[in-house]
Structure 1
Amino acid sequence: MLIRTKAWTFAAALAACAVLPAHAQETIKIGVTEPLTGAVAASGTYVTNGARIAADVINRKGGVLGKKLELVIEDNKSNPREAVNSAEKLILKDKVPVLMGAWSSTFTLAIMPKLMEYGVPMVVETASSGKITTAGNPWIFRTSPTSAMEAVGFSKLVDGYSPAIRKVDFLSVNNDWGLGTASEFTKMFKSKGIAVGRTETMSPDATDLSAQLAALKDTGADTLIVTSGIEQLTLAIRQAAEQRLPQRIITTGGSFPEPLVKNPGPKGYASQHLLFFAPWAIDHAKHPEVAREFSDEWNARKFDLTGQTEGFRGYDAILAIAEAIRIAGKAEPKAIQAALWKVNVKGVNGDIAFVKEGPAGKESGQAVPNIYVVELKDGQVAVK
């Protein structure tokens, strides 16, 4: 009897093993590499939550090619080396046919050679460095705007400021994103005859910006352009208010200092923010029905309202990837890469379709997003 039981157990185990590959094939994997810990963890978490919502919405509607989407999520720990490790794990161990990531330009640029090496496409949902789509990497497709696109979009609003913008300073995170943004905005301001003053930088993990702000206090500029993640934007605005910096503060990159809504700075102190989705005015979106579906799902999960300003990035990127898989008819890297050029889908930010950027024959894909300006004052948000 004991021998028979053992034989049955062994046979059952073999049968279970035989079922596992078939079960694995019942889902379509999408790799996600985002900063879930470290200096920009808040932003990475918002983006990842948006991606999860998109997968859930798509799966609830029947999935893709009759299968459910499965997000395989890795923490790149706000570190470029870890970003590379996370991408290799997703590609080599988890066998994902497509990636979404990696929030920072620095993390994304670090991963890009691996995409070339292994032949796997990645949809870039946040990173804005122009190098990403001009480096000749045909496996890259970006849904977020470049720093140059953001600067051009803002240039259309500059003349409407009162009092007028006449001289600007910069406070930028010291990486590809921050330095690239300062460079592109400097070109734009100079083209409009606006003087550019002092530039201060901060390390990505800096937790005190008082020295940089003190250096900017008496420059004679009327506007300070700040580029960094949620944590440092919040810190910069609080410390600027404490030091009574005279410049108006305008932040770039689509991050929003959410803590200042719940715990505002000094009364009357205002800051403005360039965003790519404004959840306070969903009707402003090009496709309100898409934006509302995302927003309703986000709120139902009791996530912070303001986190949608970055969470939508993950949502839109997964919508684009899912549509590419549908067009491809199979979840294989080369087929998905080819299909991404044919994507034309309604997203929270607007229409998602890719135009070619970079060297002929090695072009990357770049979408053309919409840009919004919101003002934060005394914990209240107004869409301009």
Structure 2
Amino acid sequence: MKPRYLTALGLSAVLLLAGCGSSGDEEPQAAGGGVVTADDCADPAAAKEKITGTLKVGWSGATSGPLAQAVGLVIEGMRTRFAVANAAGGVNGVKLEMVVKDDAFNPEKAKTNVNEMIQKDKVHVLETFGSGQLNAVADDQNEACVPLLFGQASVPAYRDAKNFPWTTEYLPSSDIEMAAIVEQIKKKYPNGTEVALAVNQTESGQGYATGFKNAIKGTNIKIAKEAPSTDPNAAITTLKTSNAKVLVNAVITGDCLPLTQALGRSGWKPEAVFQPANCVDGKMLYEPAGAAADGQQIMVWLKDPGNPLYAGDAAVKQYLADTAKHGNKHALNNYTVNGWAIGDLMIDAFTKAAQSPDGLSKLGIMKVARTQSYQPPMFIDGVKWTMTPAQSLGIVSFRPFAWNAGKKVFEPTGDVIDMSSRYK
């Protein structure tokens, strides 16, 4: 077998290098010509076998623990999108089914789940939530040649299609998202400024932190103080002593609200606060914080069906009608929209695979996913999903929004920012 996949030691080295010297301006590695084959698969025939009857998507996610609510809503949104497709006849008559297993945001449990889903449940496609989880499962999943599509992670290492040809990530690269945030900081502070950085200690949080540090290289933006987000009150107390004008949170969903609440209690009022895109839901993560959340900024790529900005949007109207028809009671939640959009991306890939020479097979699906170009209706106009044979781009555009605590809504602070130039 050709040495396509990184060993655990090799991946650790990649992540270490990303933290010590990689630049956000570097291009992702080429996909070896962009060709996905079954030649190195443990079972090439299984990779090429046509999928009939039911297409199973295996989901390992934290359906228990502090992230359970957000993850559950993502899964619910995806399940509803599949229900809409199934009601319309499926994909060329093939119905879509989800197999969900709880990993409690534990990478080792995610690894166990994925192996069970591959070996026992015989899933055709996989999905997971978290960079540590993707790290734990990617080698096995690539070895088995089971597509893992739109993984809920942002670590740049898995955009290396040469070493991970059967894996794609949904979340924007942490380097790209943080570079967009740095561009916003530069606009407000053209002569530079100091930043306080709160960092979640998981691989997801470390990825955001590394992305931010890469993005400020060569600028007049400096990190005045950094603190782990493990104890939000302690983190904010520490960061407050920096007197930094800007607070950047390199964190996961579970940190978003507690850090803002701690900020409100501290009396510290940075001139600008930036949250990562995983902190996008206003109802869950901003309203409970009251005035402390006012003005917090975030990069967005999805339409918010509860925002008056999209009240007349045809795609939003259709989304609301479809979710209501299939009994989804959380259609206005942004995590639900996120799951719906991932399901929509999957259905687009499945449909195109069914029309391809390889047909609706694992191989056919993965070949399409490696070159997929599509604008999901629930993506903001001007934000498109793009994969090319040489570059695993995915989402590279955002629209900046800020939370208005008085109106309890996100308001746009500018037009769509296209960061694709960083990949040229």
Shorter-chain TM-score tier: 0.7 to 0.9
User: Could you say which residue in structure 1 is the equivalent of 2:243?
Assistant: 220
Change (3 A) 1:190 1:296: farther
Match of 1:236 among 259, 282, 285: 259
Mapped pair 1:172 → 2:199: yes
Distance 2:82 2:178 in 1: 32
2:81–2:343 contact (8 Å) kept in structure 1: yes
Match of 1:211 among 228, 234, 245: 234
Q: Kindly state the Cα deviation for residue 126 of structure 1 after the two structures are TM-superposed.
A: 2.5
Change (3 A) 1:289 1:90: farther
- Show the 5 A alignment for 1:1-384: 25-100=52-127, 102-134=128-160, 136-161=163-188, 166-203=193-230, 208-247=231-270, 248-256=272-280, 258-266=283-291, 269-279=294-304, 280-281=306-307, 288-298=313-323, 301-303=328-330, 305=332, 307-308=333-334, 310-329=335-354, 330-347=359-376, 348-349=378-379, 350-356=383-389, 365-378=392-405, 380-384=408-412
Distance 1:292 1:182 in 2: 37
SS in structure 1 of the partner of residue 89 of structure 2? coil
Q: Which amino acid aligns with 1:71?
A: M
Q: Which amino acid aligns with 2:67?
A: V
SS in structure 1 of the partner of residue 195 of structure 2? strand
Change (3 A) 1:237 1:295: farther
Q: Kindly state the Cα deviation for residue 282 of structure 1 after the two structures are TM-superposed.
A: 7.7
Q: Kindly state the Cα deviation for residue 164 of structure 1 after the two structures are TM-superposed.
A: 8.3
Change (3 A) 1:215 1:39: same
SS in structure 2 of the partner of residue 138 of structure 1? coil
1:254–1:273 contact (8 Å) kept in structure 2: no
SS in structure 1 of the partner of residue 296 of structure 2? strand
Bigger mean CA offset, 240-249 vs 152-161: 152-161
User: Could you say which residue in structure 2 is the equivalent of 1:16?
Assistant: none
Distance 2:303 2:352 in 1: 30
Q: Kindly state the Cα deviation for residue 200 of structure 1 after the two structures are TM-superposed.
A: 0.9
Change (3 A) 1:283 1:322: same
Q: Pairwise CA RMSD of aligned residues?
A: 2.9
1:103–1:125 contact (8 Å) kept in structure 2: yes
Q: Which has the higher Rg, Structure 1 or Structure 2?
A: 1
Q: Kindly state the Cα deviation for residue 234 of structure 1 after the two structures are TM-superposed.
A: 0.4
Q: Which amino acid aligns with 2:318?
A: E
Distance 2:66 2:172 in 1: 22
Distance 2:64 2:207 in 1: 24
Change (3 A) 1:164 1:42: farther
2:293–2:403 contact (8 Å) kept in structure 1: no
Q: Kindly state the Cα deviation for residue 53 of structure 1 after the two structures are TM-superposed.
A: 1.8
5+ residue gaps, structure 1: 1-23, 359-364
Q: Kindly state the Cα deviation for residue 171 of structure 1 after the two structures are TM-superposed.
A: 0.4
SS in structure 1 of the partner of residue 212 of structure 2? helix
1:124–1:144 contact (8 Å) kept in structure 2: yes
Change (3 A) 1:328 1:269: closer
Q: Kindly state the Cα deviation for residue 162 of structure 1 after the two structures are TM-superposed.
A: 7.6
Q: Which amino acid aligns with 2:134?
A: T
Q: Kindly state the Cα deviation for residue 163 of structure 1 after the two structures are TM-superposed.
A: 10
| Count of aligned pairs between the two proteins | 347
State the identity %. Answer: 20
Change (3 A) 1:235 1:383: same
SS in structure 2 of the partner of residue 191 of structure 1? coil
Q: Kindly state the Cα deviation for residue 224 of structure 1 after the two structures are TM-superposed.
A: 0.8
Q: Which amino acid aligns with 1:352?
A: W
2:154–2:173 contact (8 Å) kept in structure 1: yes
SS in structure 1 of the partner of residue 395 of structure 2? coil
Distance 1:218 1:241 in 2: 15
User: Could you say which residue in structure 2 is the equivalent of 1:13?
Assistant: none
SS in structure 2 of the partner of residue 70 of structure 1? strand
Distance 2:214 2:260 in 1: 25
Change (3 A) 1:268 1:45: closer
SS in structure 1 of the partner of residue 108 of structure 2? helix
Distance 1:259 1:187 in 2: 30
Change (3 A) 1:148 1:163: closer
SS in structure 1 of the partner of residue 99 of structure 2? strand
SS in structure 2 of the partner of residue 265 of structure 1? helix
Distance 1:114 1:375 in 2: 40
Q: Deviations over 1:193-225 (max 9, x none)?
A: 11221111134xxxx421111111120211111
Distance 1:357 1:254 in 2: 27
Q: Kindly state the Cα deviation for residue 314 of structure 1 after the two structures are TM-superposed.
A: 2.3
SS in structure 2 of the partner of residue 254 of structure 1? helix
Q: Kindly state the Cα deviation for residue 291 of structure 1 after the two structures are TM-superposed.
A: 4.5
Change (3 A) 1:180 1:262: closer
Q: Kindly state the Cα deviation for residue 355 of structure 1 after the two structures are TM-superposed.
A: 2.8
Q: Which amino acid aligns with 1:166?
A: T
Q: Which amino acid aligns with 1:191?
A: G
Change (3 A) 1:61 1:111: same
Distance 1:295 1:161 in 2: 37
Change (3 A) 1:147 1:334: same
